[in-house]
Amino acid sequence: MTNDNFAKKQLKKESFPTIPNYKIEAEIGRGGMGIVYLGYHEFLKRKAAIKIINDTSSQNENQVQRFLQEASIVAQWKHENIALVYDMGKNQKGDYYFAMEYLSGQTLEDFISQKTLTTKKSVGIICDVLKALDYVHNYDPVIIHRDIKPANIMIDENNCVKLMDFGLAKIEDVGSFTSDSVTLGSPYYMSLEQALSSKTVDARTDIYSAGVVLYEMLTGSVPFKGDSLTSTLLLIARGEFQKPREIDPQIPVELERICLKAISLDIEGRYQTTKEMLEDLQKFTIPPLETAIVRKSRVPIDEESVIEMKSIPQTQIKERPDPEVIKYITKRAVDLSLPPVDLSLPPIDKNIWDICWRKTYFNFTADIWTRLPYQKQIEYAQKYQEWYAKKYNIAVVKKENEHSVPIVFRLIPPGKFWMGSSKREYRHCDDEILHKVLISEYFWIGEIPVTQEQWKSIMIYNPSQFKNEKAAVEKISWNDCKKYFKALDNKFRLPTEAQWEYACRGGTTTPFNLGNDIKSSKINYNGHYPYKHSETQEYREQTIVVKSLQNKNSWGCYDFHGSVWEWCSSWYGEYPQKEIINPEGPASGSKRVLRGGCWDSVAESCRSAKRISSHPDSASSIDGFRIVLNREMNYSIIGDD
């Protein structure tokens, strides 16, 4: 049942279990329910893989029933691509066991890791798997495997493919020995419908899993891979993944089509039977040059979700799942089934829209977007904000009227952006590691930094060095911000560092949200030290009235650059070198982040990517803050259960 590459644990003879007629020679594997031993039948003179239920599982009636079900099901079958069961029973100790055909070879998982699979070999393997599935799907009663994955596919010494491990199999019209609340299967290969309910699936869930196996053989990685069940299913629910040919252009177009149809998130759009998929694969002719091409393993998608950074085409494929899937996975009231809107007229250039709009957010990292002139980025980002507000019936501008001096907020629609800066950016700093960040939900951020009159209306006193009620409040520590929020019943908070940069950029990929340079006529900074080789400009030496300079960004916010350094909620720390979702920053630290530069900063310190940090108790005439409206949102990193 298993392969010779397992490290055989040579235990003392008396530690092996006793099985009638068998001499146990070694332990060769362990699984969730049992231990597998290499045994030798003393009368039939043949090896067998003997699976014995472990002590923990033997105490669980459902586990026992699943163990016996696997043996009783497989024992009835005779198919060249399914490992045979010889016999089953109980030993003197009362342990259940069954003896299976011993297969000397390697699992498909081993073959994939060794990077030795050609296109022809991959097609042949998946065809044999489909033949086995077609056999069990048409058996009476119908059997659904529910755990198709490379570790359960063996290629023996004669290159015969064997499907194994029917411990999670479901018998149609009988069901499985599992409660509705339990999700069975391997997350990377599991269909969404199986994640929702293992009991209600049909043969198409096995087809999906077989499609994922084919995808992995062709590309070296699975389409969705998180570090937990929750994170993986969240990735699947978002439905975003690379087409095989985007990973490896040498993959034949027709083979890609077959693979994508098999892993369609839409059950009705998937192959309806294994026979249909098998027929398409058998009709498929591998181009001569393809037969000898060995598939190279790609870097696995691994996120917090998340995704190791690599240069890849930006075009991605995405399908929209039932919103109930999202609710099920996150166990929160995250509702993506918002009011439908006519999308026949995209708000920007159709080619750009079709690539960048990902059904629930806008992808500002797509190559087609980053190549746009910054003026177009600003124009299109503004139209996206307006479109998103209309689509979901959300206000672009929101006013908080509980203050004697109201605070105006601007809508920040969801999107994926490049956080940090390229090493090519003038005055790039080492702590600005460029990485993708997805802000998955909209939020409202202050149109301007909090002013002295807004602070004073709540806190009574004015700590600022430069007294001007219409200017940004300064000499504010991070802990002072907490006191301000507490006085307002925590209806507001500081933005995370990622939210701050995303809101500041407003879709731009240039050093500043107004382009490649800044001028004192638009930004209040130390103009004696301009960016790159610009001419010396005005240095005001103090704060000034907010919104008095024409520096509104694409989403309607002012004074992100210069004015005052703005506190963020995040601890200062090194950026990850991978894509993350809604990051809050390090879990702990000694200093908090400030962003944006100030009235005394040189131009390079006002860049969108520039970071500094300070102790939470520190306060000076260059430190202020901007606030975010506190609403129920999911700020967890993918993989956080």
The angle subtended at Cα 177 by Cα 176 and Cα 180, nearest 5°, is: 80
Q: Which amino acid, 538?
A: E
First to last CA, the chain: 34
Query: 497 vs 44, 216, 543, 619, CA distance in Å?
Result: 69, 36, 23, 19
Which helix or strand (DSSP H or E) is residue 47 part of?
strand 46-53
Q: What's the alpha-carbon Rg for the chain, to the nearest Å?
A: 30
Which helix or strand (DSSP H or E) is residue 182 part of?
none
> What tokens appear for 564 in the block?
């005052």
Tell me if the bond preceding 141 is cis, omega within 30° of 0: yes
| Residue 600 bears catalytic tag | no
Is 317 exposed, middle or buried (CB count within 10 Å of its CB: 0-12, 13-18, 19+)? Answer: middle
> Any alpha helices (H) in 363-449, and if so which ranges?
367-370, 374-391
Exposure of 189 in the CB half-sphere (CA atoms within 13 A) = 23
Place of tokens 């699947």: 236
Report the distance separating Cα 343 and Cα 634, nearest Å.
26
**Residue 318 β-bridge partners:** 240
Report the distance separating Cα 134 and Cα 145, nearest Å.
11
Catalytic residue among 95, 128, 134, 147: 147
Instruction: Of 558, 609, 605, give the one whose Cα is nearest residue 450.
Output: 558
**Contacts for 138 with CB less than 8 Å, ≥ 6 apart:** none
Instruction: Of 171, 145, 14, give the one whose Cα is nearest residue 81.
Output: 145
Q: Which amino acid, 526?
A: N
The count of residues in the chain is 641
Q: Are 594 and 623 in contact (CB under 8 A)?
A: yes
Q: Are 12 and 28 in contact (CB under 8 A)?
A: no
**Contacts for 235 with CB less than 8 Å, ≥ 6 apart:** 224, 225, 226, 241, 301, 303, 305, 638
Q: Are 66 and 167 in contact (CB under 8 A)?
A: yes
DSSP conformation class of 13 = G
Q: Are 167 and 73 in contact (CB under 8 A)?
A: no
Torsion of CA 102, 106, 109, 114, to 10 degrees: 170
Instruction: Of 501, 496, 438, 443, give the one whose Cα is nearest residue 235.
Output: 438
Query: b or e along 232-271 (b: 16 or more beta carbons within 10 Å of the residue's beta carbon)?
Result: bbbbbbbbbbbbbbbbbeebbeebbebbbbbbbbebeebb
CB atoms within 10 A of CB 36: 20
The catalytic residue positions are 147
